[in-house]
Structure 1
């Protein structure tokens, strides 16, 4: 049995944890036309590290989402962040023949990372032999959340409403999905025409997951209000939790980076809550003997300065 994750969490609460981070770690991918670049972050010491594979939002890269990656790595996780082909850092032309298929290539990127754990582990000095391949989670924000959700069992509907192929991965046993878009029949005409892949079905998304939504997240792609982002919780079966953040917009207070200009609702306290709750959820879901999640739920319920509300099913 690996060392208790609650014990690890207590250590990090008592003293700063040294984190190592390497980028880019390159994964050769023959059918992608260019290799996959990944950022790897992990605590400098300790073994049996559970793994989080994180999918960034549109245009971002492995260099973003430091408030999440830094915190998770400091609390005992190995965090793997691939850079997808839509990243502004790659500058893929709109006319590139791969562009219409990036949504699918994104999913394949996450699978490539899982298939390449040996390469990633060996490429980072001091990381060899420290990853726990029996405890793997996926996470993502916005488009990245849709990407990650498919490995949890969500599927994309075709133009006739028929679910596409099952791209779930049995190696993944937990997920955290930030600002995941809802049903495709609520898209604006522009979104329906330009983003045909934004037609998810959550009927088979059975893997345990924490859905994080902002109650002030009004998407320009949806004809509905912020409740659109709660569909993944409401419409998926199995063990799910929904964290609804009070006053949060699409950046959820600033998870995409420290003081980034795209954050319209900067709120360090909200980001801190996200850090704490996602860490506790993942520790407990990946190791049922850990009690971090129940402790975090109790702390949230007892907090007089309400930043969010939590639902479980």
Structure 2
């Protein structure tokens, strides 16, 4: 897949307000879409910790150029909201994040109308995608649950409008959390056994989390511990930001690689086009390329 950006024109509209009573801070989204086209599929994207609707342009712009409408909410943990670890609201932000995605999905028609897209979207083809904490948030909408201190699964947060998803660097099981994570992030105890919605799990071969005592394989739990159908894309040289998916030259990126970011964006587009019933040829071709022995990435499926 080419690392050159598509020449297809895209447009973004922000901020668009979304009703979210009791949230304390207004919920706003950004919508990015192709300039032209009909029956466009939708991606609702959940950002990683501290980011906002203004991040992840290297992914979002490429998805829009590939024909997707991308809706990005700003979650409460965005830096602009200044809610730190010691803020009493932090303990429940994981729930608010999930509620944010539900609010976007429940008010999608109004959001699209405000962006001038309500007649151009296929509302039967909706996916959720998330990175890092956003991947856990998206996973809950796909059917994953959170275990309590006694190991009992919590409530079902799945949403019926979602047909597929992609989890990039998703939190693994919570039995190997570091002491800091166990104390401050107790919600990082996902149960993937109920995550039945079709999904692609993306993991970096060099993604060593400071929140777990395990290695990079921690980020493959969402694939191994969830029911089929699932796919796993492992990018051997990628670290947690996969080469810079949150933006160009951002502080968190330690493995800057624009070509890797472009590859990941295109691979996700190919997977979602197949999972949403458009065209499985690009995803099939990608799998065939992996089978031919490319050493930088591999695909598994079940």
> 1:46 and 1:288 mapped to 2: Cα distance?
14
2:246 aligned residue: 256
**1:15–1:266 Cα change, 3 Å:** closer
> 2:252 and 2:225 mapped to 1: Cα distance?
30
SS at match of 1:89: helix
* Conserved 8 A contact 2:20-2:100: no
- Which structure 2 residue ranges, 5 or more long, are not aligned? none
Match of 2:102 among 111, 116, 141: 111
Matched, 1:311 2:300: yes
1:53 aligned residue: 44
SS at match of 2:194: coil
Matched, 1:215 2:201: no
SS at match of 1:213: strand
2:67 aligned residue: 76
The alignment's TM-score, normalised by the length of structure 2, stands at 0.95
Matched, 1:86 2:77: yes
> 1:256 and 1:15 mapped to 2: Cα distance?
19
Which stretches of structure 1, 4 residues or more, deviate above 3 A after TM superposition? 92-97, 299-304
* Conserved 8 A contact 1:270-1:307: no
> 2:53 and 2:152 mapped to 1: Cα distance?
33
* Conserved 8 A contact 2:5-2:62: no
Structure 1 residues 166-181: aligned runs within 5 Å: 166-181=156-171
> Could you list the per-position Cα deviations for residues 247-280 of structure 1 after superposition, in whole angstroms to 9, with x for gaps in the alignment?
2111111111122221001112221221121110
- Which structure 1 residue ranges, 5 or more long, are not aligned? 1-8
2:125 aligned residue: 135
> 1:203 and 1:20 mapped to 2: Cα distance?
38
> 2:266 and 2:42 mapped to 1: Cα distance?
17
Matched, 1:281 2:271: yes
> 1:15 and 1:253 mapped to 2: Cα distance?
19
* Conserved 8 A contact 1:243-1:308: yes
The alignment's TM-score, normalised by the length of structure 1, stands at 0.91
Aligned residues: 300
> Could you list the per-position Cα deviations for residues 193-226 of structure 1 after superposition, in whole angstroms to 9, with x for gaps in the alignment?
1111000000011111111101111111101111
* Conserved 8 A contact 1:276-1:296: no
> 2:112 and 2:118 mapped to 1: Cα distance?
5
Q: Please, what is the CA RMSD of the aligned residues? A: 1.8
